[in-house]
Amino acid sequence: MTITEVSKKYDLSPDTLRYYERIGLLPSVNRNKGGIRDYTEEDCKWIEFIKCMRGAGLPIEVLIEYVTLFQQGDLTTQTRKELLIEQRKRLIVKMKEMQNTLELLDYKIESYESVVKKEKELKKSQD
């Protein structure tokens, strides 16, 4: 697949894909005889993984570390697992914080709904 096709498929700009490759977040993509990037199915799996992890808020630095460890082979399996476990713990904390924020927003919205309802009733009784 070309960079344009991959860009459209994953809703990432070509610049973002080039950046991910340049910083080592995405392993080097093969190029065809004309020098055009030729993304394989394996490359696309990496892009899906990166996009998912970034969407969950994992820092680029952590993902670069993970990719670097992955490229070093099976001797880093335990380290990669520990890195993912740590990120999972952080994500759980973040999700709890977001749930608390959501509950606070719901409470505030409900409070405003009560006020608006009372104002409408008052206005209606004055008419």
The model carries a pTM of: 0.77
Question: At 125, is the pLDDT very low, low, confident or very high (cuts 50, 70, 90)?
Answer: confident
- pLDDT tier, 123 (very low <50, low <70, confident <90, very high otherwise): confident
How far does Cα 12 stand from its chain's mean position?
12
Give the model confidence (pLDDT) of 17-76 as tens digits: 999 999 999 988 999 999 999 999 999 999 999 999 999 999 999 999 999 999 999 999
Whether 98 and 67 share a structural domain? no
Q: Is the dihedral of CA 20, 44, 67, 61 positive or negative?
A: positive
Strand partners, 31: 37
Please indicate, yes or no, whether residues 4 and 64 belong to a single structural domain of this protein: yes
* Residue 106 tokens, joined: 């719901």
Domain holding 14: CATH number? 1.10.1660.10
Do 103 and 52 share a structural domain? no
Q: How many CB atoms lie within 10 A of CB 70?
A: 14
My answer on whether 89 and 124 are in the same domain is yes
Give the rounded percent of residues in the chain with a pLDDT score beyond 70: 100
* Residue numbers of the domain that contains 99: 76-127
Q: Is the pLDDT of residue 114 over 80?
A: yes
All residues at 6 or more sequence positions from 76 whose CB lies less than 8 Å from its CB, including other chains = 69, 70
19 and 34 part of one domain: yes
Q: Are residues 67 and 31 in the same domain?
A: yes
Distance CA 112, CA 105 (A): 11
Task: Please check whether residues 83 and 62 belong to one and the same domain.
Answer: no
pLDDT (0 to 100) of residue 117: 86
Same domain for 114 and 68, yes or no, is: no
The answer on pLDDT for 119 being more than 90 is no
